[in-house]
Amino acid sequence: MAEAPGPRLRPESARGPRVRLTCDGVPVEAHPGETVAMALWAADRRTLRRSTRLGAPRGVFCNMGICFECLVRIDGHATRACLAEVRDGMRVETIGPAPEAGA
């Protein structure tokens, strides 16, 4: 049975081999050439950081490196997810305090 293409492409589109990264320890598969932001978006990870004062969720906003709303930690370095290309073994961590229960 053919694999569903997911939200990235039309069914007739062909893709190369996948790479594997983790986000907060959870495995995520992506394709070479994708940005971390879009790989996480396709994996239904919309919250990439939380604001320092209120812990409000933040995620992709401009998707072109201007707003810094997509700031994550990649292999220990703060990086804009919309500008970073995925690679195999990459370790992504979201930034900010954990949300309060029920938030």
Residues that bind ligand FES (CB under 6 A): 60-63, 65-70, 80, 82
First to last CA, the chain: 40
How many Å apart are CA 5 and CA 11, to the nearest integer? Answer: 6
What does DSSP say about strands 19-23 and 57-58: parallel, antiparallel, or unpaired?
Answer: unpaired
Rounded least distance, CB 102 to ligand FES, Å: 27
Look up residue 85 and give its DSSP letter. Answer: B
In terms of CB distance, is 15 or 63 closer to ligand FES? 63
Rounded least distance, CB 89 to ligand FES, Å: 22
In terms of CB distance, is 5 or 52 closer to ligand FES? 52
In terms of CB distance, is 56 or 62 closer to ligand FES? 62
Answer left, alpha or beta for residue 71, where phi above 0 means left and psi between -120 and 50 means alpha. Answer: beta
Rounded least distance, CB 83 to ligand FES, Å: 7
